[in-house]
Amino acid sequence: MLARLYMDAVITPNRSLSERGFIILISIITLANVASAAVFIANGAHLVPVFLGVDLAAIIVAFLVSFRAARNVERVQVTPHQVVVTYETPKWSRVVWESPTAFTRVAVETDAMDGRVTGLRLALSGRETPVAAALSPGERAEFARALEDAIWRAKRGA
Cβ atoms 6, 79 nearer than 8 A: yes
Whole-angstrom CA distances from 118 to 24, 56, 137, 139 are 34, 35, 6, 11
Q: Dump pLDDT digits (tens) for 87-134.
A: 998 888 898 999 999 999 999 998 888 888 889 999 999 899 999 999
Give the residue with greater pLDDT, 15 vs 52. 52
Query: Is the pLDDT assigned to residue 74 strictly greater than 70?
Result: yes
For the chain, the structural domain boundaries read: 7-13+72-156, 19-69
What's the pLDDT score for residue 97? 92
What's the pLDDT score for residue 1? 45
DSSP of 32-57: HHHHHHHHHHHTT-TTHHHHHHHHHH
Lateral strand order in the sheet of 93-100: 7-11, 73-78, 82-88, 93-100
Question: In sequence order, what are the residues at sequence separation of 6 or more whose Cβ sits closer than 8 angstroms to the Cβ of residue 25?
Answer: 17
Which CATH code is given to the segment(s) 7-13+72-156? 2.30.29.30
Computed over every residue of the chain, the mean pLDDT equals 91
- The one-letter amino acid code at 60 reads I
What's the pLDDT score for residue 77? 95
Give me the residues paired with residue 121 across strands.
107, 130
Query: Is the pLDDT assigned to residue 65 strictly greater than 60?
Result: yes
What's the pLDDT score for residue 2? 56
What's the pLDDT score for residue 66? 87
Share of the chain above pLDDT 70, in %: 98
